[in-house]
Structure 1
Amino acid sequence: MNKVLASLGSIVAVVAIAYLALVVLLFLFQRSLMYHPAAAVPTPADSGVGDMRVVDLHTEDGLTLKAWYAPPRAADGPVVVYFCGNAGHIGYRAFKVRRLLDAGFGALLVGYRGFGGNPGHPTEAGLYADGRAALRFLAGNGLAGDRIALYGESLGSGVAVRMAREQAGVAPVAAVVLETPYTSIADVAAWHYPFAPARWLVRDRFDALSAIGAIRAPLLVFHAKDDGIIPIDLARRLFAAATEPKEARWFDAGGHGGLFEAGAGDLVIDFIRRAATAGQTGRNPPLPR
């Protein structure tokens, strides 16, 4: 009996040590799990947006980042600031921005630190600094908040919400569009790693839920029910916490990266166009259809 208990005790000890080792590895390598930048340096022409030009964004911590910019077709048209997800580089989002440019909008594709040949390493604070650099660039080109729509894709939705909240006290933006958003990365981590105390291990939390109620801008959220990366329940919670005016579209299919093919492009263009028109005429929401 004593031998059996000793054997069980040894097994429990081994399992406990293995579990603790796994938790430690998750903590130490979490940013490698979270950020997947491509090192290749894309060009606008090769990505199908040759009418965009490469511009420099100067961050508050001394980095110079490459981004792509095209002004709106009309002198008073909106400019969409696009904050990407956690993988690849801005060239992978060019097909979406192409639709926005063809609709007459301007666009600024923000190149994050550490992505697409840019210097630095991505962190939550760093990506917020990159977002502020993008808004400073537009301000330097005479574009005020009511001419700007913030677009956040996946991880970038947290950046877009943070920038909208910061702008709300200065010059609220014309619109915020969130593709496959979340409440916080801590919640996403807890969903992916239910066997670990992931919620408490996350360094870069991107807490969009605490900021969404203060953005002071019309909001569009869209997400797919079959998204296996960020569960739609998190997007629904985020949307519920937002104040009016707000609109949502819950797609039956499209996964995490196929919503533009499912019709989200037309949805985004219509929403930004209505929000920009409402802002220019001084009308308050709900946005006219």
Structure 2
Amino acid sequence: MIIGLIGGLLAAYLAALLLLVIGQRKIIFRPDPTQVDLSQFFAPAGMTDIALTTSDGLVVHSWYLPPERADGRVVAYFHGNAGHRGNRVSRILPYAAQGYGVLLVGYRGYGGNPGVPTEAGLYTDARAALDFLKNQHVNEKQLIFFGESLGAAIAAQMAIEQPAAALILEAPFASITRSARLRYPFLVFDALVSDKFDTLSKIDRIEKPLLVIHGELDRTTPAMFGRMLFDAAREPKQALFPAEAGHNDLMQHGMPERVLTFIDEVAEPANRRRAGNE
């Protein structure tokens, strides 16, 4: 009887493990595949749809607003795992209002784009978007990487691969494996995770000014992950952990103001150098 009970428990465990392995990408990626158009959203004047061909042959749409500022700065915005780029228009308005350019990076499988999202695929989409900015003559001193939740992992990877002025991480997780272990104890093993998004193992390779913003009441991605990344990151770095903020309401808890201040501070050394040479 005991052997039968153990066998039943083992079978149930293996079945749960199999279901988790098979369904992991449906848990990680929650795209809204609906075709989206700029006219459906209160996008800033001048923002246009751009079609970008990725290195693996997909045509992925993003939305681009050219900068109006004299410094030509552009925020490359990498959104989270759910919805699509249209849901993020309201999030970029504070920066657009200050004349910053914005590239709302579109992903495969999201917002009418073809393809199926994977870690490697989203990195490929991000590279195509940054290649577009290079063709728009946006240089490394003008480029700000901004990543939201899952997008923070994409922004961090791009910050390792390409030069930029700064990196901003909003409600980031340390890695998919660490997040999954919180929700599925005893079922998550690193070798079985297909899309690791392991920002914690990479963060100390990033040599850019860093700002981490994470709500203390975040139940989706606990603030301890933001603190892990911040502690492991190199200087110069800053952090904001609003006590009353959760995962999706950081806009209401001082994030835009802190981001704008941070970007201004990042620009100051270059401005001082120019002034000293005049």
- Range of TM-score over shorter length: over 0.9
**CA distance in structure 2 between the partners assigned to 1:177 and 1:282 by the alignment:** 24
Assess if the C-alpha contact under 8 Å between 2:72 and 2:138 holds in 1: no
**By how many angstroms is 1:91 displaced?**
0.8
With normalisation by structure 1, the TM-score equals: 0.91
Q: Deviations over 1:172-223 (max 9, x none)?
A: 2011000001221111111121131344421101111222122221100010
Larger Rg computed on CA atoms: 1
- The 1:101–1:50 alpha-carbon spacing in structure 2 relative to 1, beyond 3 Å, is closer
Compare 207-216 and 250-259 and name the one that shifted more: 207-216
How far, CA to CA, are the matches of 2:77 and 2:156 in structure 1?
12
Letter in 2 for 1:264: M
RMSD of aligned Cα (Å)? 1.4
Q: Tell me the distance in 1 between the aligned counterparts of 2:226 and 2:148.
A: 12
Runs of at least 5 residues in structure 1 that lack an aligned partner in the other structure? 1-6, 284-289
Whether contact under 8 Å (1:59, 1:129) holds in the other structure is yes
Map 1:15-34 onto structure 2 (within 5 A): 15-34=9-28
Secondary structure of the residue aligned to 2:241 is strand
Q: Which string of whole-angstrom CA distances, capped at 9 and with x for unpartnered residues, describes residues 139-165 of structure 1?
A: 011111111000000001111001001
CA distance in 2, matches of 1:194, 1:282: 52
Partner of residue 206, structure 2: 215
Contact 1:161–1:208, Cα closer than 8 Å, also in 2: yes
Structure 1 residue 266 corresponds to structure 2 residue 261: no
For 1:79, which of 60, 74, 77 is the aligned residue?
74
For residues 41-95 of structure 1, the C-alpha deviation after alignment (integer angstroms, 9 at most, x for no partner) is 2222322114210011221111111100011112423100000100000111111
* 1:26 to partner: Cα distance: 0.3
Q: Quick one: which amino acid aligns to residue 179 of structure 2?
A: V
Count of aligned residue pairs for this structure pair: 273
Alignment of 1:14 onto 2:5:
no
What are the within-5 Å matches in structure 2 for residues 106-117 of structure 1? 106-117=101-112
Of 174, 186, 189, 2:165 maps to 174
Check the 8 A contact 1:189/1:199 in 2, yes or no: no
Secondary structure of the equivalent of 2:245? coil
Alignment equivalent of 1:58, drawn from 43, 46, 53? 53
Amino acid paired to 2:145: L
Distance 1:262 1:117, change over 3 A: same
* Runs of at least 5 residues in structure 2 that lack an aligned partner in the other structure: none
| Aligned equivalent of 2:183 | 192
1:174–1:279 contact (8 Å) kept in structure 2 = no
Sequence identity percentage: 43
Normalised TM-score (structure 2): 0.94
